[in-house]
Structure 1
Amino acid sequence: MKRLAIYHLETLLWIARLGTFRAAAERLNTTQPAISARVKEIEEQLGVDLFRREGRNMVLTARGRALVADFEPLWAGFERALFKASDFGGATGIVRIGTGEIAAASCLPAFVAAVEQDLPGVTLEIELDLTARMLQQLLAGTSDMVFLAGPVASPGVRTTPLGSVALVWAASKATAQAGGFKQALPVWSIPEHSPIHGIMRESLAQHGITPPVIRTCNNVRALVEIIRLGSGAALLPETMVRGELASGELMQVLPSPKRQLRFEAAIRSAERDPLILELFRRVGGLRID
């Protein structure tokens, strides 16, 4: 039998999943030369070429693809057996999570606290971003799980619902008392690739309103402050302006759209990592608010 260590085959799997030696090195917390050395050792032990160079990229050969296809379910089963033996308490690794601001401010903190308590060997790396980019990163393998506005329609993604958030047309107290949309009111919004932007345009059309200008900001918290201190209006998640509405700093200037903002957690449909699958199972019990 060829003498290959577990880390050799784990390296091969991550190169196949992420597409480059560099990405695999980052994932496995090592260097690109170390990854190259491991690949060379595997090829020498097996006596076959697993990669070939195409331009600047290294791609799997037919033998390499076959090896990955045969080994991946075995590796997942091996990890799953070890994790189940310790009720996942002995799980280790880095899990990269993408999230939007709304999820980050609501259901995500409780999830992180539970992971820290139950899975102390697991390190979460959390990055805030917009829905479209998070979906791209998930499909590219640079994120393991994402919390995003849905619904997500992609054959490469598996989702679980997190609930819905109502949206509120809000403006500052001074703007609302001056008549709100009875005047030519500028509108602020999250950029076009956000689901909120689409709901915003639908709502304006339903009310027969054509704003003089639509300005954008890709940060919801900054958007709230822009509206609170400025003369425009914005369609904002109710959960993120609840305090300002209660204090009177912001006021509602149009009826809320019937369509709410849905949220989902998502992983790749082909995901086999037992740790990611376990975290995704736990996420199913979360509800956004």
Structure 2
Amino acid sequence: MPINRIAFYHLETLLWIARLGTFAAAATRLNTTQPAISARVRELESHLGTALFRREGRAMALTPAGRELVRESEPLWARFQGVLMGCSDISGATGIVRIGAGEIAAASCLPGFVAQLGRDLPQVSLEVDIALTVDLIQQLASGHADIAFAAGRIAHPMLRTAPIGSIDLLWLARPSTVATMDATQTPIWSLSNLSPLYRIMKEAIAASALADCPLNLCNNVRTMIDIVLEGGGIGIFPEPMVRHQVADGRLIPVPGAPAMPPVDFHAAVRAAEADPLILAIFARASHLNLRGDTAA
């Protein structure tokens, strides 16, 4: 076997196709083109004298030989990356890191965290995607995201998490709404059942004196804030996202509204993640403090 003709980029390409499932996704992750990925696979298969993939619909499935090569190469590749990282300061790291976040986490801790990463890792490109928690979990598990920040408990066998603090939920309305509030007709705005906070909000509403008010749902906190600021009812909001509106008096607490438990947030990566750069960023994320909005 002409092993001397196999380059590191061949193995990197193989591992990313195996993780993401398509040549196109691997091309995006490696910042190259799909024809280039296909050429690398042909070269690797030619050097090894065996097929590594077979097409199944739009996805590429590993052959038995491909599965064995991935299984044996993954720990070697991780150790190789670790050696390279250990031989240089992490500030010299390169590549693309994909960060996913829910809307609340994005507003609470992501801007400062990402800005600091950009200063400390100037040669690393960051791609940030704001999505629902259920989508973030799927993106992480499938390898389409490297690290995610989300509300609530993340229970998935392929992921590991670190708590990054909690935030308070506040019942708020604009002053004129509070002054004319009707306990049976004033609309209450809550996040939709696509959010992990929906159950918390719904239970709090049911236990309040406002249980008979109409319940409206929205999957976007900023839109809910705008609606309530326009006098469209009462809202239940994460404190960091309404801090300025409360400070300047545009939103005020709703009298008699029950206290709600704080919501925990977590950072998550794949349980099998071995990339030293991703693990270093995850370690940073695990020191975040949402209430203090700082990172150690």
Identity rate, percent = 52
Structure 1 runs (4+) deviating above 4 angstroms are none
Residue 190 of structure 2 is aligned to residue 186 of structure 1: no
**In structure 1, distance between residues paired with 2:214 and 2:54:** 53
Aligned to 2:252: 251
Q: Is the 8 A contact 1:168 1:252 kept in 2?
A: yes
Count of residues paired in the alignment: 288
**In structure 2, distance between residues paired with 1:232 and 1:251:** 12
Residue 94 of structure 2 is aligned to residue 92 of structure 1: yes
Aligned to 2:231: 230
**In structure 2, distance between residues paired with 1:145 and 1:192:** 24
Amino acid at match of 2:215: I
Amino acid at match of 2:249: G
Cα separation, partners in 2 of 1:56 and 1:263, compared to 1, 3 Å: closer
**In structure 1, distance between residues paired with 2:243 and 2:116:** 26
TM-score for the superposition, normalised by structure 2: 0.92
CA deviation after TM superposition for structure 1 residue 246, in Å: 2.6
Aligned to 2:178: 176
Residue 53 of structure 2 is aligned to residue 51 of structure 1: yes
> What SS is found at the alignment partner of 1:123?
strand
Aligned to 2:289: 287
**In structure 2, distance between residues paired with 1:36 and 1:188:** 50
Structure 2 unaligned blocks of 5 or more: 292-296
Cα separation, partners in 2 of 1:241 and 1:256, compared to 1, 3 Å: farther
CA RMSD of aligned residues (A): 1.6
**In structure 2, distance between residues paired with 1:256 and 1:127:** 34
Cα deviation 1:81-104 (Å, max 9, x = unaligned): 111211212210000101123222
Aligned to 1:77: 79
1:115 to 95, 114, 117: 117
> What SS is found at the alignment partner of 1:89?
helix
Cα separation, partners in 2 of 1:211 and 1:41, compared to 1, 3 Å: farther
TM-score for the superposition, normalised by structure 1: 0.94
> What SS is found at the alignment partner of 1:195?
coil
CA deviation after TM superposition for structure 1 residue 241, in Å: 1.3
Structure 1 unaligned blocks of 5 or more: none
**In structure 2, distance between residues paired with 1:111 and 1:236:** 22
CA deviation after TM superposition for structure 1 residue 256, in Å: 4.7
Q: Is the 8 A contact 2:152 2:264 kept in 1?
A: yes
